[in-house]
Amino acid sequence: MGLLEGKTGIVFGVANKRSLAWAIAQALSREGMRLAFTYQGERLKDSVAALTSTLPDSLLLPCDVTNDAEVADVFGRVDAELGRLDSLVHSVAYAPKDDLENEFVNTSREGFKLAHDISAYSLVALTKAALPLFEKSGGGSVVALTYYGAEKAVEGYNLMGVAKASLEASVRYLAANLGPRNVRVNAISAGPVNTLAARGIKGFTGMLHHHAEKAPLRRNVELEEVGNAALFLVSPMSSGITGEVMFVDCGYNIVGL
């Protein structure tokens, strides 16, 4: 039997086979977890469906995380079709292109609000909607994806770094709030990976090369390594861990110069 046999989870943020969310889903499924997935908009539906159909008994649902009615509908469907929920993976982030590429001081008000709504508040909204199902299952584990740019000013990351800082603070407050209900909330701060979202960051290729040169392991992190870290945080092996940001970045974050 797998480590997660009999457990169920939902994954937000799969876009293609290079997504961190997909690497995590593969690790969870490998250990026996049955998964539900969401997609945002018809443009992504076919590519996400092609991936998720390769996993046993998966469920695919539409969801715009800025729409409370759609969020409620997703968890209603999960309750009806899966009967329980043990984990939630949040790999959702967005900032307008102009606000990523411009100097941070020129961030627009609307861009700032949108980036925080999608990248940070959605964690709160999704966890709130999942809570009744977690309680029905006797507890749960939430894992969010973040990046070092939440702690340090990373060139080109700009508005997304500020939104990720909000996400990391939300992880801590949710963990403190929901711990008495046996719900754990953690984040993974992955090193740069060549995902669809990452390619929207100006100078990303240079960031990859710099990271590989300076990280103690002298390489970039692999998708599978991020997936395995999430598996640990979802599984009973991390039952005493909550409110943490786990770096999976080949050690880059420990280096000063």
Separation of alpha carbons 69 and 86, rounded Å: 22
Sequence length of the chain is: 257
Instruction: State yes or no: is 147 an active-site residue.
Output: yes
The first and second tokens of residue 184, run together, are: 């754990």
What is the 3-state secondary structure of 92-113?
A: CCCCCHHHHHCCHHHCCHHHHH
Catalytic residue among 39, 94, 148, 157: 157
Please, which residues have CB within 8 angstroms of residue 116's CB and are 6 or more apart in sequence?
162, 163, 166
DSSP string covering 14-75, please?
--STT-HHHHHHHHHHHTT-EEEEEE-SHHHHHHHHHHHTTSTT-EEEE--TT-HHHHHHHH
Judge whether 110 and 214 are in contact, CB under 8 Å.
no
Q: How many angstroms separate the CA atoms of 225 and 166, rounded?
A: 25
Is residue 187 within 8 A of residue 173, CB to CB? The reply is: no
In angstroms, the CA 142 to CA 138 distance is 14
Annotated catalytic residue within 39, 147, 148, 252: 147
Tell me which residues are annotated as active site.
147, 157
